[in-house]
Amino acid sequence: MPLLERLQFTCAICRIAAYTLYRRLCCKGNPIPKREFNITCIGLDNSGKSSLLTLLCGEDDISDISPTTGFNIRCIQVKNCILNIKEIGGGEKVREFWSHYYQGAEGVIYFVDSSETQENLLLSREYLRKALENNHLNSLPWLIMCNCQDKPGAKSVEEIQQIMALDKSCLFGACSIKSVQDAREACERLIEEMYRNSSPEETALNQV
Ligand SMILES: Nc1nc2c(ncn2[C@@H]2O[C@H](COP(=O)(O)OP(=O)(O)OP(=O)(O)O)[C@@H](O)[C@H]2O)c(=O)[nH]1
Ligand SMILES: [Mg+2]
């Protein structure tokens, strides 16, 4: 083989080797699709559902949020998961329809304004217990979000746990619009629970 051709051949082999090495080191095939979870989010009016979820979506402005009259769908990325959160209004009239929106949920987030009066916390407990008994929700992982921790007189997670006195074991998280990272971390714990609650086939598929 003439020298020039031998040189071209060697260069081609080197290029293929370099490209293969690059693919092995940098490109790990198709990205694994993100796991999605459907979540129902409830809680009395003014407990901060819309505000906190807006902040979790990465938006900064929560100044013009009005009471939710029906429901909103929010998509939030937490870790490598997408949470499709159905946030239902907590006003007196809307509460009666909460159960119409439960089907298809894989997890529940229940918001509490931790600074509320004892009377309103007991009212919140009443709705929480009723929702916990629902057939669509009772076997799912629950996160009780003790929100508004920044407000004066806000009760701690332990105090809210005592007031709620639930039979079911639920996750509890403390947060406020000023500590969104705490809410994110609580959502991460909920994701772990939802993975545990998934069927073995689904879990295996997501570990590929
Ligand atoms: N200080 C303080 N205020 C909050 C917090 N979360 C929400 N708020 C305020 O509480 C009010 C009600 O908040 P929303 O997010 O609309 O409450 P919601 O639970 O969505 O209410 P509904 O849609 O009626 O069910 C707003 O003025 C918020 O700015 C919080 O963590 N700390
Ligand atoms: Mg709302």
Same domain assignment for residues 59 and 113: yes
Domain that holds residue 77: 35-207
Distance 45 CA to ligand 2 centre (A): 7
User: In degrees rounded to 5, what are phi and psi of residue 138?
Assistant: -65, -20
Q: Indicate the pLDDT class of residue 23, thresholds 50, 70 and 90.
A: low
Cα 98 to middle of ligand 2, angstroms: 13
Is any atom of ligand 1 closer than 6 Å to the C-beta of 67? yes
For residues 161 and 175, membership in a common domain is answered with yes
In this structure, the residue with its CA closest to atom 2 of ligand 1 is 148
**Ligand 1 in contact with 124 (CB < 6 A)?**
no
Q: Phi and psi of 153, rounded to 5°?
A: 80, 10
Cα 34 to Cα 13, 29, 82, 104: the distances in Å are 37, 15, 7, 18
CATH code, domain with 127: 3.40.50.300
pLDDT in tens, 74-84: 999 998 899 99
pLDDT tens string 101-122: 999 999 999 999 999 999 999 9
State yes or no: pLDDT of 194 exceeds 50.
yes
Kindly state whether residues 11 and 114 are assigned to the same domain. no
Greater model confidence, 190 or 11: 190
The residues, ordered by sequence, that sit 6+ positions from 84 with a Cβ below 8 Å of its Cβ are 36, 37, 38, 39, 73, 74, 75
Residue 62 alpha carbon, nearest atom of ligand 1 = 29
157-164 helix and 118-133 helix, angle to the nearest 10 degrees: 60
Residue 203, pLDDT score: 57
Domain count, the chain: 2
Tell me the CA end-to-end span of the chain in Å, nearest whole number. 48
Maximum distance among all Cα pairs of the chain, rounded to whole angstroms:
94
Q: Does 110 share its domain with 175? A: yes
Q: Are residues 21 and 122 located together in one domain of the fold?
A: no
Q: 26 with 83, same domain?
A: no
| Same structural domain, 23 and 108 | no
Secondary structure letter of residue 60 according to DSSP: -
- Tell me: pLDDT of 70 over 60: yes
- For residue 94, give the ligand 1 atom closest to its CA: 25
| Per-residue model confidence as pLDDT tens digits over 140-192 | 999 999 999 999 999 999 999 999 999 999 999 999 999 999 999 999 999 99
pLDDT for 40-64, tens place per residue? 999 999 999 999 999 999 999 999 9
Residues, CB within 5 angstroms of ligand 2 (ion): 49-50, 68
Q: What is the pTM of this model?
A: 0.85
Check whether residue 25 and residue 39 sit in a common domain: no
Distance CA 203, CA 46 (A): 36
Answer yes or no: do 7 and 98 share one domain.
no
